[in-house]
Amino acid sequence: MDTRVPNIVVGRLPIYLRSLEHLAEQGHGIISSHQLAALLGTSAAQIRKDLSHFGEFGKQGTGYHIPYLIVQLKRILKADQEWEVALVGVGDIGHALLRNRDLPRRGFRIVAAFDSDRDKVGTRFGQVTVHELEQLAQVIQGQGIQLAIVAVPPAAAQTVTDALVAAGIRGVLNYSPIAVSVPDHVRLQQIDPVTHLQHMTYYG
Amino acid sequence: MDTRVPNIVVGRLPIYLRSLEHLAEQGHGIISSHQLAALLGTSAAQIRKDLSHFGEFGKQGTGYHIPYLIVQLKRILKADQEWEVALVGVGDIGHALLRNRDLPRRGFRIVAAFDSDRDKVGTRFGQVTVHELEQLAQVIQGQGIQLAIVAVPPAAAQTVTDALVAAGIRGVLNYSPIAVSVPDHVRLQQIDPVTHLQHMTYYG
DNA sequence: TAGATTGTTAATCGATTAACAATC
DNA sequence: TAGATTGTTAATCGATTAACAATC
């Protein structure tokens, strides 16, 4: 049980959690590190070592009680609470994210959306109304929103990210196919299908 | 210049490439490893070491000629050719991908789409007509398509992936929030916003 | 030339794996 | 109990960093 957990280990926990939740939905109750490793294409030793950073969650001779491990992983990842998310950019990707039921199901609720297009401002998606970009700081600070998804065209991504950071956002998930920079105290994750595809074509 | 390049290094090349292309668009001609590292939040030594696996692309005292390095990285990643991609699932995400101009701009053209919904079959998105799932193998084999994007509901993801593998697909980019498995000879990449968000909330 | 930066080597650091005592 | 599997230690493996000769 370390005090300082490697970032790469933290990044694997959500993958374990996702798989365990899927197993639970299918009615599985217990799983061994070897079974989970086979399912995920990783190694049993790695799973046990990763989990050992946080405590002892299994039982010798048996394995892991899936619902219990889910509870523990959710607690560790702070996924046992609901997170409010701001969305900037209501184009095709933003639209897909607003309609995505998996995000709220797993604890991430888009509670505010922003777009620079006046025609989109005022439109509603479920509970969410699209605001002007000018209201970004006010809404984010007013609601204490800590996470944001950037889904704007590349040319606007850094400006929008800077505005989010200035508004107090703690983590940014960037869908724009461009590297944005954030200060050290802000977390950044990037989603770009092309980089994933290029990683595969290398081996092609 | 190794024969065996670490996978983690391969995964960084597309990120370097994306940044260099952005720099080139902005009119930059030369960049040093230190400048690029600062831009990407990595280290100059890592960039130089990564590139050294493939050859010598820089000039002492000067740095890297951006257009030349772009050409080299594209060659290494096989991004100097156009790749045809099959899309399975024309929901919100599939729709966003079909309309995404960045994919073709960077060499990935969705040339076939499939959906199980009879109402969607036959509809067109630009050059692409939505086919029945039943035609998947025939179309993929007929056109020699090597890459596929899976954007179907979780319950269908593994079945669809199996069908793609059976049809001869070499790489799968999975947008379904579920771990799918593929045989060793098939490359797999996963995009799931929730896992990225959970990676950030851990530190929250 | 003087200054700067590469490519590479060696050292360091960190992550993964193997092995096994503990124990269910 | 016998068999199985965990959690952890130590060994191995691999990646990152630091340093510098080469050289533009």
User: What DSSP line would sit under chain A, residue for residue?
Assistant: --SS--HHHHHHHHHHHHHHHHHHHTT--EE-HHHHHHHHTS-HHHHHHHHHTT---EETTTEEEHHHHHHHHHHHHTTTS-EEEEEE--SHHHHHHHH-SHHHHTTEEEEEEEES-TTTTT-EETTEEEEEGGGHHHHHHHHT--EEEE-S-HHHHHHHHHHHHHTT--EEEE-SSS-----TTSEEEE--HHHHHHHHHTT-
The CATH number of residue A40's host domain is: 1.10.10.10
Position B2 in a domain: no
Asked if the structure places residue A204 within a domain, the reply is no
From chain B, pick out residues whose CB is under 8 angstroms from the CB of A201.
77-79, 83, 147, 171
For residue B179, pLDDT over 90 is answered with: yes
Residue B55 CA distance to nucleotide D10 C1' (Å)? 37
- The answer to whether residue B201 is domain-embedded is no
Would residue A2 count as lying in a domain?
Answer: no
The b-or-e profile of A172-204 (16+ CB within 10 A means b, else e) is bbbbbbbbbebeeebbbbbbbbbbbbbbbbbee
Same structural domain for residues A27 and A97? Answer: no
Cα distance between residue A127 and residue A98, in whole Å: 10
Q: Final residue of a domain: which of B77, B101, B130?
A: B77
Chain B 10-69 contacts with nucleic strand D (CB below 7 A) = 42-43, 45-46, 48-49, 59-62
Q: Is the pLDDT of residue A101 over 90?
A: yes
- Chain D positions with an atom below 7 A of a protein C-beta are 2-9, 14-19, 22-24
List the single protein residue with the shortest CA to C1' distance from C23.
Answer: A60
Same domain? For A73 and A99 the reply is no
Q: Give the CA B45 to C1' C12 distance in Å.
A: 14
* Single residue among A53, A77, A101 that ends a domain in this structure: A77
Q: Which nt is closest to the CA of B58, judged by C1'?
A: C6
- Residue at B204 is within a domain: no
Assess whether B66 and B125 both reside in one domain. no
The model's pLDDT over B77-134, given as tens digits with 9 standing for 90+, comes to 999 999 999 999 999 999 999 999 999 999 999 999 999 999 999 999 999 999 999 9
Answer yes or no: do A99 and A182 share one domain: yes
- All residues of chain A having their beta carbon less than 8 Å from the beta carbon of residue B204 are 78, 83, 146, 170-171
Question: Is strand D within 7 Å of residue A138 (CB)?
Answer: no
pLDDT digits (tens, 9 = 90+) for A165-175: 999 999 999 99
The answer on B99 and B58 residing in a single domain is: no
User: Is the CB of A7 within 7 Å of strand D?
Assistant: no
Per-residue pLDDT, averaged over A160-183, amounts to 97
Considering the domain architecture, whether residues B138 and B182 belong to the same structural domain is answered as yes
Question: Any idea what the CATH number is for the domain that residue A172 is in?
Answer: 3.40.50.720
Residue of chain B whose Cα is closest to the Cα of A41: B181
Task: Give A185's contacts in chain B (Cβ within 8 Å).
Answer: none
Give dist(CA A161, CA B11) in Å, integer. 24
Q: Last residue of a domain, which of A28, A45, A77?
A: A77
| Same domain for B111 and B191 | yes
The Cα–Cα gap between B95 and B116 comes to 14
Residue A1 has pLDDT above 70, yes or no: no
- Please indicate whether, in this complex, the C-beta atoms of A198 and B17 are within 8 angstroms of each other: yes
* Count of domains observed in chain A: 2
Instruction: Write the residue in B13, B40, B173 that is nearest to A197 by C-beta.
Output: B173
- Per-residue pLDDT of B143-175, as tens digits, reads 999 999 999 999 999 999 999 999 999 999 999
Q: Which domain holds residue B151?
A: 83-196
For residues B73 and B89, membership in a common domain is answered with no
Long-range CB contacts for residues A158-166, cutoff 8 Å, separation at least 24: A160/A88, A160/A89, A160/A133, A163/A133, A163/A136, A163/A137, A164/A86, A164/A88, A164/A136, A164/A140, A166/A137
